[in-house]
Amino acid sequence: MNFIYKDFTMRALLSLFTICFLLGCQSQKGSISAKKVEINTQSKLVVGIVVDQMRYDYLTRFYNKYGEGGFKRLVNEGFNCKNNHFNYVPTYTGPGHASVFTGTTPKMHGIISNYWYDKVSDAKVYCAADTTVQSVGTLHKAGKMSPHRLKTTSFADENRLFTQMKGKTIGISVKDRGAILPAGHTANAAYWFHGADEGRFISSTYYLETLPNWVQTFNNSDSAESYLKVWNTLYDISTYTESGSDLNTFERGFRGQENATFPFDLKALSKYNKGYDIIKATPYGNSIIADFAIAAIDGEQLGQDNYTDVLTISFSSTDYVGHNFGVNSKEIEDTYIRLDKDIERILNTLDTKVGKDNYTLFLTSDHGAVEVPSYLQSVKIPAGYFDDNAFEDKLKETIILNYKAESFIKNISNEQIFLDRDVIKSHGLDLEAVQTAIVNEIINYPHIYMAYTATSMSTTQFSTGMENLLQNGYSQKRSGDILFVLDPAVIDYSKTGSTHGSPLNYDTHVPLLFFGKGIIKGSTIQKTTIPDIAPTMSALLGISFPNGATGQPLEFVIEN
């Protein structure tokens, strides 16, 4: 009897345990369901803005001149990466735009400069030129462009693949390379401004056979003509206290006007400065890009369905103004004050047309710029100018003297020396030994700061310093046999205006602002690099990283 009682008790306990377990599972199931996480929360539109030649300090130096709705809104409502740098050289427009959107460096994506010497064809090539396509929107060869020299995908390409080509990509810039390289290989279209005697936006048959109606309407609106007007400072010039004097010897200015001082009558000067091309070198070049981008948002119905679209905008006129007038000019200050207004117009359009909570935007630059060296010299800062023709002549003479042979220099460009390997071989010389001998020779030349062989770039792993930046910019197939770096603030350029291209902070330190859906508010002084941008956007969208990406997602800018 006792046995039967114990058996009954055990059965009852087991039944109770089973009931509790099942109830617990139901409760747990309910709990899991309540905590379900949505991983596909993509924005309807991603906008990538590149401001050509924007140093980081343009954000801070002119901050008090900006309104509340442009740069300040991005800083105060978005995330500011204050210590953002390029992690390679050379810092030029083509490589910069490619790196921002592919998440890697020239070592991987192959755009080693704007122009470079091609070892296969023995000729100079342009990063976006393509003789296999035709111009669209013009009879001029300015439209014969495509991204065919870009070796890897962009995050816009990956978005197109992810959405089965239903998400659109549109690239826009004054410069062809500023429109083409960000948009990637699968873009629906890239448009750039053709000045000269036309003043219109064009494209190529790589993308489409004819311009869409909205583009034709824009081109027929005489928008370009409206910007051939007087360029004067937006505010009283006496309030432009963040820049140097308007009249100085460090600026080039426009042909047809004696001094590089305000005001500039663009209509009158256009006949001396390639017609509508003069607009590119003024803040109005940015304004027409903003106008066209706003038209594209409407014309392409961007952000109006459930498939994420990508709009890339490159403001290139900042670069033209910087090259012409320099970092410390009144012209550059006025250009950024006016650009702030154009960015505000774009943000307001996105708020209205797409919705404040439906788009994500980032803003960065493709490189910085050095202060005009002649100005630096005037305030006793080491700086100078490099004569590349004299450098090449001296090097050729040295080679002929040392090797008792004709010079085997094929090309010197982008701070790289390309050797004629056939001539070296025909003389029974060892390539690596010749490379090393030339490095040991040129390191003693004035204004040569560092020099390295291609062999060292290929066989040694540099993890820090300028050597690492050189290596990240080195393409084994496309780069030269010797790479060299000029002294700080020394440039191969005219003594008026400014340029870029070095591994120094003035060229590598650029803004990086994230804003909108999925982005937290805040800032960091933690170092970030340009290749981190594309993986961050891919992670935010939940799509594959660009196929050559070497950067890492910046998890601290993304909302959990």
Active site positions, annotated = 93
Crossing angle for the helix pair 431-442 and 388-403, nearest 10 degrees?
A: 130
CB 91 within 8 A of CB 507: yes
Q: What is the token pair recorded at 184?
A: 């990637």
Buried b or exposed e, range 182-194, using 16+ CB within 10 angstroms: bbbbbbbbbbbbb
Largest CA distance in the chain: 120
How far apart CA 456 and CA 462 sit, in angstroms, is: 9
If one counts every other C-beta atom within 10 angstroms of the C-beta of residue 431, the result is: 15
Query: Rounded to an integer, what distance in angstroms lies between the CA atom of residue 315 and that of residue 47?
Result: 13
CB 319 within 8 A of CB 337: no
CB 513 within 8 A of CB 554: no
**Residues 339, 512 contacting (CB under 8 angstroms):** no
d(CA 175, CA 152): 21
Residue 442 makes CB contacts below 8 A (sequence gap 6+) with 391, 395, 448, 451, 482, 484
DSSP 379: T
- Cα–Cα–Cα angle for 416, 420, 421, nearest 5°? 110
Residue with tokens 């660009």: 546
CA distance 511 to 86: 11
> Which residue's entry shows tokens 């350029």?
493
CA pair distance 260, 471, nearest whole angstrom = 40
CA distances (Å), origin 254, targets 114, 232, 268, 325, 332: 24, 14, 11, 10, 15
Query: What does the buried/exposed string (b/e) look like for 35-59 if buried means 16 or more CB atoms within 10 Å of the residue's CB?
Result: eeeeeeebbbbbbbbbbbbbbbebb
**Nearest-angstrom CA–CA distance, 265 and 253:** 12
Describe the crossing of helices 317-325 and 330-353 by its angle, rounded to 10 degrees. 170
- Those residues whose C-beta lies under 8 Å from the C-beta of residue 108, and which sit 6 or more positions away, are 102, 151, 152, 548, 550
Helices and strands counted in the chain (H then E): 21, 22
The answer to whether 504 and 367 are in contact (CB under 8 A) is: no
Cα–Cα dist 146/132, whole Å: 9
Centroid of chain to Cα 397: 39
